[in-house]
Amino acid sequence: MGKRRKVRSQIFHGVRYHIDVDLTYVGWCDNPHKKDNGNEYPAIRLPGGLPFGNNPGAKSGLQILLHECGHAQNYRKSEKVIDREAAELADLLWRLGYRRTKK
């Protein structure tokens, strides 16, 4: 198995999003329809840099990542719907053993 490359972007519904999980931000997903997005926008940013393994905050980080990706999938969905979907997906993935591995 070779060295893993850092994930820097992902396409959701034809829009390339910059992914930033290594800097401390409050989780958010930029509006893909905004006209003055810069070079690294639209973007998905996460709190605490998405912790690894079973470290504190790892499961909540996964849920926040899924939450923000839910916005990227359909920016017009309500927070309530996105919250529920992200929580359900995070619970399933966590139970299946999905964790962020060391760089």
Q: How far apart are CA 89 and CA 53, in angstroms?
A: 17
Structural domain contains residue 23: yes
This prediction's pTM: 0.74
- Peptide bond before residue 42 is cis, with ω within 30 degrees of 0: yes
Instruction: Give the pLDDT score at 24.
Output: 54
Domain count, the chain: 1
Is the separation of the CB atoms in 79 and 39 below 8 Å? no
Write out the residue range of the structural domain in which residue 42 sits: 9-95
Structural domain contains residue 2: no
**φ, ψ (nearest 5 deg) of residue 22:** -115, -5
| pLDDT tens string 46-97 | 756 788 899 888 999 899 999 999 999 998 899 999 999 999 999 999 999 9
Structural domain contains residue 103: no
Structural domain contains residue 72: yes
Structural domain contains residue 64: yes
Give strand pairing partners of 10: 17
Tokens representing residue 44 in the block: 């998905």
58-85: burial string, b at 16+ Cβ within 10 Å, e else: bbebbbbbbbbbbbbeebeeeeeebeeb
